[in-house]
Each structure stands twice: as structure tokens, then as C-alpha cells.
């Protein structure tokens, strides 16, 4: 509320007077919180709220630290006065600026956020949504495999029931959920690609392979673990 923003403004003013670095870091923290809110506002209705990865937040924070004019504006009384609205309204919404004078600090700040941050936030949010969808698909497919294994074992032993509670009923339930999750994953991939992202993971491939190599070296003396890691390595080669 208003009192909270006044208190924040007083605290930021004290920091700015006595410790510029501490002031900048406090403003960066507020920016991170705002960008997380904006990422959530990017989510389609009914979809899980996306999260920005720490890497994305770090990159955006470094960008802010390199722009003292922007940081100063972000910690100003003008920014504090409109902060609640910034947290609740997508930065692309014209209502944020429609009543603001063209040469006002408030309009400049919204434009700076739009031009310098919202594109990266939107892309990071879509990437997060893609990761959530991929994890959900992997989970449901894993449960489908478990259900199929159970039904196959039963069938080999003459258990061929199809009624409620049977292994085949579990296969049916798991297959419906898996199909829905795979469809949702494809939709997330399409949205990510439409926004200009590379849904093949090429941007992260180097880091992914480096981590896999690190794990392979660490567990080379454990044959069972090493075999699973080789299988994981083959998955990206096949892709």
C-alpha cells in the first residue's frame, strides 16, 4: 500500500545518500521481483505460472546495473508511486501510459522497461512454460510406461481383466493423461517458436552437454550409472 511504498522510499533515500552500491542492489532486487510478476502476467489463462530462471534474472540484473540512469529512475518516488500498478498490469498494456504526459519520468520508465526488459521476460517466461510442459509430459509418459509394464506382466500370467481397478484400466487412464501432456508440450513448443525461440534447445546445448560430461566423469566407476548417462547422451544425439 501507500505506507509501504513511503517506507520503501525513505529506506532507498537513506541508502542512496550513504551507500550507492547498496542502493543499486536494493533497486535491482525490486526489479527482479517486478520482472517475476511480469512473467506471471505473460502466462495464458489457466496455464501454470511461469518462472524466470536464475540465469535469466542474473542477465537482466546485470543489464540494469550497467544503466545508472535507469536504476535511479527505478528507485525514484515516481516509480514507487506507480509500483503497485506495474506489478498488476502487463507492461504492454497501453493503460500504463495513456494518461501520462509524454515528457514525464513515469512514461519514460515504462518505455525503458518495455524496450529493455519485456522482450527478454516474455521469452524467458515461454521457455519456463516449455520446461514445465516437458517435465509434465515426461512424468505422465513415465507413469504410462509403468502401467503398461504392469499390464504386460499380468497378461503374461493370464490376468486379462479390463474392469475398474484393473491394470488395463490404469493403462487407459495413464494413456489419456500422457496424450494430453504431450499435446500441451507441443503447444508450448509452438508458442516458444512463434516468439522467436529455438525449441530445439540449441541455446542451452553446450551447457547441457558440459554438465552431462561432468556427471559421466564423476560416475565412470559405477557401470550402472554410467550406462544410464550414456543413454541420456544418446537421446540428444538422436534428437
Q: How far apart are alpha carbons 173 and 152 in whole angstroms?
A: 16
pTM score: 0.58
pLDDT of residue 46: 65
**Residue finishing a domain among 101, 126, 151:** 126
Do 211 and 101 share a structural domain? no
Instruction: Write out pLDDT tens, residues 203-216.
Output: 567 778 889 899 99
Question: Is position 117 within any domain?
Answer: yes
**Number of folded domains in the chain?**
2
Question: Is position 72 within any domain?
Answer: yes
**Residue finishing a domain among 100, 126, 152:** 126
Instruction: Write out pLDDT tens, residues 125-141.
Output: 777 778 888 899 999 99
Host domain of residue 230? 200-239
Question: Is position 73 within any domain?
Answer: yes
pLDDT of residue 131: 81
The more confident residue out of 7 and 102 is: 102
Q: How far apart are alpha carbons 160 and 43 in whole angstroms?
A: 44
pLDDT of residue 22: 86
The pLDDT > 90 percentage for the chain reads 44
198, pLDDT greater than 70? no
Q: Tell me the backbone φ, ψ of residue 90, rounded to 5 degrees.
A: -55, 140
Do 9 and 105 share a structural domain? yes
pLDDT of residue 3: 46
Do 8 and 121 share a structural domain? yes
1, pLDDT greater than 60? no
Task: Among 25-34, 51-60, 83-92, 102-111, name the one with the lowest average pLDDT.
Answer: 51-60
pLDDT confidence tier of residue 48, bands split at 50, 70 and 90: low
DSSP notation for 147-207: HHHHHHHHHHTT----STTSHHHHHHHHHHHHHHHHHHHHHHHHHHHHTT--TT-GGGHHH
Question: Is position 182 within any domain?
Answer: no
Q: How far apart are alpha carbons 235 and 220 in whole angstroms?
A: 19
Q: For the residues 159-174, what does the mean pLDDT come to?
A: 93
pLDDT of residue 9: 59
Q: For the residues 110-119, what does the mean pLDDT come to?
A: 89
pLDDT of residue 16: 77
Amino acid at each position: 500500500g501507500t505506507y509501504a511504498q513511503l517506507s520503501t522510499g525513505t529506506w532507498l533515500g537513506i541508502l542512496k545518500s550513504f551507500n550507492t552500491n547498496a542502493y543499486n542492489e536494493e533497486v535491482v532486487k525490486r526489479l527482479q521481483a517486478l520482472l517475476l510478476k511480469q512473467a506471471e502476467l505473460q502466462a495464458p489463462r489457466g496455464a501454470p505460472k511461469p518462472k524466470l530462471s536464475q540465469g535469466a534474472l542474473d542477465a537482466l540484473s546485470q543489464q540494469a546495473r550497467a544503466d545508472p540512469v535507469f536504476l535511479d529512475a527505478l528507485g525514484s518516488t515516481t516509480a514507487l508511486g506507480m509500483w503497485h500498478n506495474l506489478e498488476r498490469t502487463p507492461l504492454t498494456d497501453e493503460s500504463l501510459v495513456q494518461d501520462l504526459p509524454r515528457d514525464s519520468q513515469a512514461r519514460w520508465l515504462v518505455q525503458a522497461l518495455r524496450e529493455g526488459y519485456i522482450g527478454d521476460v516474455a521469452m524467458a517466461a515461454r521457455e519456463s512454460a516449455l520446461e514445465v510442459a516437458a517435465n509434465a509430459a515426461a512424468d505422465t509418459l513415465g507413469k504410462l510406461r509403468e502401467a503398461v509394464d504392469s499390464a504386460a506382466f499380468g497378461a503374461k500370467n493370464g490376468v486379462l481383466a479390463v474392469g475398474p481397478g484393473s491394470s488395463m484400466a490404469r493403462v487407459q487412464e495413464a494413456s489419456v493423461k500422457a496424450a494430453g501432456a504431450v499435446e500441451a508440450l507441443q503447444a508450448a513448443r509452438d508458442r516458444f517458436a512463434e516468439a522467436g525461440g529455438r525449441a530445439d534447445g540449441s541455446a542451452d546445448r553446450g551447457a547441457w552437454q558440459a554438465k552431462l560430461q561432468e556427471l559421466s566423469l564423476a560416475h565412470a566407476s559405477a557401470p550402472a550409472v554410467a550406462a544410464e548417462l550414456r543413454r541420456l547422451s544418446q537421446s540428444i544425439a538422436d534428437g
